[in-house]
Amino acid sequence: MFWTPLENLEVDLQTNAESFDDGSLNIVNYLASKTERRKSLVKGCVVSPEVCDKNIRTYINRTKAVRKVFWDYEGVSNTTGKIYSSNITYKLPKAIFKTVSSIRKMEIDPLIVDGDFTRSPVIKSEYIEHSTTRTHETSIESKNKKEPLQFKIGTLFYHKISDKEFIQERLMQAYTYNVLKGLNAPAKEIHHSRVVDKSFSFFTHNSYTFWEKFTLTLGARIETQRIGIGHSRDARGVLFDNPYGDVRILSPHYVRNDSYRYNVSRIIFDYKPIESLMIFIGLSRGYKNGGFSTVVNQPSLAAFKPEINDTLEVGIKSKYFNETLGMNLAYFYTETVDFHVIRAISIAEAINLNAEKVTIRGAEMEAYLKPHKSLQLGFLAGYTEGIFNKFYDRILNTNFDGKHVHFIPQYDVVSYLQYRSSPGLFFRYEFQVVGKMYFAADNTICSSPYAITNLKIGYEEERLSAYLYCNNINNEYYFTSYIDGTFQAVPGAPRTYGFIVNYKI
């Protein structure tokens, strides 16, 4: 709903509700080499000796089999969300005052997956999360965007409450009775946690252009974060003499509260010797908030520290021949302190760790050619390398100094051909190549490079547009992620067809 009660006052109220049910969560056995499996087996026996026998049987079964994918772990996931927001704008003589408020409610209820290595279910894993996030931002910024001085100053309040449950449902009687203090299968081990995260920020972003060729941009942000967790762990199952079951306390309830203060800034210098060419260099400090792992029984080990990033970036942006040809180049170098690393304990449980020091460097290139106003050819390429300069994994009791940072593809190349006659026909053909990506901090497991092609054809008008698409035309089999600390990986989508219809009211 949009309302303008006065010439200088605008009010915009919005509400949005969504529900997403993916129907299945596809996780498969990742086929590393026999040597790599043996390494993982030995580490698993050291970390969890109580399941070593089962893992050995799994290892034997996998190394003797010849199938590419042994079996899928089919699960279900349902996510619902509601967003309410308001945006109030008041135009002053030389500035614009804005206040934006929002409330977001999100529910994952539940995510369920078969969490063991056997054909018949032995362990089922569940994850449930209900969260409410409130934000309120107030700012004042420049009104005339053509003025050499541009400014924005504001504050942001953030408040999020999350209730989470990590559940392991044990279906094996021997394990349940011996480990869970006499309970009978089926029994559930449950981590209960509530995380309350509050922060208040003051920020400013300013730029000044002088002599129409030089632009200096300065930004800063000061934030105070207060975060707390309440956690407990119990087991619930049936008894022979009590069909209603009983509860066993595995970890008593604890509460921990931490606070952090962030001071970050950025400075960027742009130089435009001619209208079609810009050279820039920038220095910035960024961060990711600290927090708590929600499946840790000891409060002293639950917290992970904020991640602090210092980045240098230089580059060139250019366009020629009335913007029919363009090329952008950039190089970046980042030094990170307390880099966030997620270590999986099981398929449904993970702990956040900090790598003491990480360096990430890379280069990017983008080019396009427009031989006709409706036709465009494009090329994008990026190369990235991340190194753990110092990282001790306290879960595995292992030093990973000098290893490549996992989940960063070495390179990513995209080329495309696009035709758009508006209103009229739309066509886009895309070819993408993704390089090797390490899936584990010890660099023993990695994905192979892969290539996929996508096609999209449609018709566009001012209010109505319709498209047919086919992604991964060549039906390439590849992996997008791996659950570090387990044998499971997430495969990419196979050949997928679909259609999209958009209508503007």
Q: pLDDT (tens digit, 9 = 90+) per residue, 417-463?
A: 999 987 889 999 999 999 999 888 888 778 889 999 999 999 998 88
Tell me which residues of the chain have a pLDDT lower than 50.
22-23, 31-36, 65-74
Q: Is the pTM of this model over 0.85?
A: no
Q: What is the pLDDT of residue 36?
A: 46
> How many other C-beta atoms lie within 10 A of the C-beta of residue 116?
21
DSSP string, 204-240: EEEEEEETTTEEEEEEEEEEEEEEEEEEEEEEEEEET
197-405 maps to which CATH number? Answer: 2.40.170.20
Residues 6+ apart with CB under 8 A from 200: 155, 156, 157, 158, 223, 224
Q: Where in the chain is the domain with CATH 2.40.170.20?
A: 197-405
Cα-based torsion angle of the residue sequence 436, 441, 442, 447 in order, rounded to the nearest 10 degrees = -20
Residues in the chain: 505
Encoded tokens for 197: 């995260």
Q: What are the b/e assignments for 321-348, b being 16+ CB within 10 Å? A: eeeeebebebebebbbbbbbbebbbbbb
Residue 369's alpha-carbon distances to 9, 40, 330, 378, 418, in angstroms, are 43, 48, 19, 6, 11
**Contacts of 436 by beta carbon, 8 Å cutoff, 6+ apart:** 409, 410, 446, 447, 448, 449
- Containing H/E element for 377? strand 375-390
Peptide bond into 306 cis (omega under 30): no
Token couple for 172: 């094996």
- Tell me the residue type at 393: D
Number of neighbouring beta carbons within 10 Å of residue 430: 17
Radius of gyration of the chain measured on its C-alpha atoms: 27
Q: What is the pLDDT of residues 211-228, one digit of tens each?
A: 889 999 999 999 999 999
Q: What is the 3-state secondary structure (H, E, C) of 319-376?
A: EECCCCEEEEEEEEEEEEEEEEEEEEEECCEEEEEEEEEEEEEEEEEEEEEEEECCEE
What pLDDT score was predicted for residue 115? 59
Whose tokens are 């309830």? That residue is: 253
Q: What pLDDT score was predicted for residue 39?
A: 55
Closest C-alpha to 417, from 460, 385, 459, 371: 371
∠ CA 18-24-28, nearest 5°, is: 135
Task: Give the count of alpha carbons within 13 A of 52, CB side only.
Answer: 10
At 376, list the tokens.
Answer: 């465009």
> Which residue shows structure tokens 């054809």?
457
Cα distances (Å, whole numbers) of residue 115 to 28, 72, 79, 442, 446: 11, 11, 20, 23, 22
